[in-house]
A = this chain, B = another copy of it.
């Protein structure tokens, strides 16, 4: 069996105000109103020991929850927003559509479980982003690429799974506002073949119906070369009419067989995958061909911008992987059909613990776009280390692109506020699997929860989100909440400190990306170099170097391009710097490396002690699970510290000022 993560509805305290609420009032028969009622009653059964009665009118009951669909609210709330008001003691939840009611009920349940007073629950909420997406990298054999939480619950042995866990998955992610889900791995082309054939239509349709009850649209990853692999044609040339026709016919079948189907996520011409480049065509040619085929059904084509040369020669210092996304896609701005959305990773590389924001965001302004985060901690501890990513995501969202004088942050742009594109939003690679607790590390659930909450409401603070999640997960115990928030908020800075310094990234073991290996990628073909020698380290991406810096608007180009103004945390991403150079902190670069690695490992000791002190306050099964993983983190953070410090000591032979042990 599996647990319920933050939807584990525990019995409320005896004096909780909600005990008096035993009635749901509604006149709606809408699909997701019924889902909302089911959820409310599922909660009531365990929170207050008993289902609520459902009536169309309150009569003389004073304490009730009323669910009201009022289409006139759509101007202020859209179809997904909701409003909670109190009439005396009655709780009136209104929305313009049933999806809003469902989100409102999840919100209400959160407030109830957080011990908010009745008088505190009024308010309204509208999502900041239209597309709020999860990308699962699950393979049909049941494995998960970059999965750290067990096997897939979507697939097993080449078959699609649809069962009670599908429902609980939908509940979990809908409860934090996710409205689109790609269930299969976008990175393995041949993986995607079966998905648009008879083989999978039936279970996919069944899954899509479940998702629909929770306001979620099913998406699939697509094999760009399916006209060959499935269609048996000889080409996948997007300008070949026969190829286009094949897609039109195939899409008619797909949308016909799978109800509530949203569209496709595609990675083409990347890391060995075929794509329009194979035929000398542009990325826009490829995306638009597919877009035309899905257009009649309101379908979307989400096109990943992760296109770069993964056969780079490490001896070549001019080619720069960081440039690739912008170089490929910027010239195409305005040439994509209106049902194509470009999906852009937050940084120009690949989900490192620290990267600058991709210059494509803010660059493109005539193209639909979705920002891509990674909840799965591929490079940030793989759910064996705690690394709460919401603070990082917030920094990214708040980044000012200088595209225009106002409304030009990443948040403004990807939400569509800045340029009013037809389709905008945020996607993220999910961190779930069939582990009992969904995310391997119990604490990693804070990232899944936090992702949903943050992209719904981008002004929420990382601390507030941590607090919400901790309260729903561990209950409203102030000691626990304070400790968990401390651990979570300390975790990303700590991970950055004891791993790769100052924006350089990539000091991991190749392939599996876990554990320290300073030179792991240095002489390899992936374009991920640190260029460390005896005198210094870092990649010159200024005009004198790879020129990447000119992809930013002038304010950021100037900021990053000047060694004096470039923020320390990104210094080595933009500059090759001497070990003896003084940073803004007053320390030399080499001393910063030593200090931050000792500090980061020490921070983990503190996090560990903070958790250990919670013994008895947290359910023992969960306490032990977390302690076990933190014990590994404790040892492994020291391994990181020692390997990285030794590497830099050996190459620089500059002594640590504090004479600590370096090997």
Give the B-binding residues of A (Cβ under 8 A).
314-315, 516-519, 523, 532-535, 642-643, 646-647, 649-653, 663
Contacts and interface: CB of A to CB of B under 8 A. Distances in A.
A445 to B, nearest CB: 32
How would you classify the secondary structure of chain A's contact residues: helix, strand, loop or mixed?
loop
Contacts of A523: 516-517, 643, 646-647
A523 B507 CA distance: 13
Given A517-B523, A533-B651, 10 more contacts: A315-B642, A315-B663, A518-B519, A523-B646, A523-B647, A532-B650, A533-B650, A533-B653, A534-B651, A651-B651
A647 B647 CA distance: 12
Contacts of A643: 314, 523
B315 A653 contact: no
A534 B315 contact: no
Nearest to A639: B523
Nearest to A649: B533
A526 to B, nearest CB: 14
Contact of A535 (B516, B518, B646, B653): B653
B534 A650 contact: yes
What 9 pairs across the A-B complex have the smallest Cβ distances?
Answer: A533-B650, A534-B653, A519-B519, A523-B643, A315-B663, A651-B651, A534-B534, A534-B651, A315-B642
A647 B532 CA distance: 9
A663 B532 CA distance: 12
Contacts of A653: 533-535
A220 B642 CA distance: 44
26 contacts: A314-B643, A314-B663, A315-B642, A315-B663, A516-B523, A517-B519, A517-B523, A518-B519, A519-B519, A519-B647, A523-B643, A523-B646, A523-B647, A532-B650, A533-B649, A533-B650, A533-B651, A533-B653, A534-B534, A534-B650, A534-B651, A534-B652, A534-B653, A535-B653, A650-B651, A651-B651
A516 B519 CA distance: 11
A583 to B, nearest CB: 22
A644 to B, nearest CB: 9
A518 B651 CA distance: 13
Contacts of A646: 523
A477 to B, nearest CB: 40
Nearest to A317: B663
Contacts of A516: 523
A298 to B, nearest CB: 48
A625 to B, nearest CB: 25
Contacts of A533: 649-651, 653
A314 to B, nearest CB: 7
Nearest to A316: B663
Contacts of A642: 315
A650 B532 CA distance: 7
Contacts of A651: 533-534, 650-651
Nearest to A516: B523
Contacts of A652: 534
A650 B643 CA distance: 18
Contacts of A535: 653
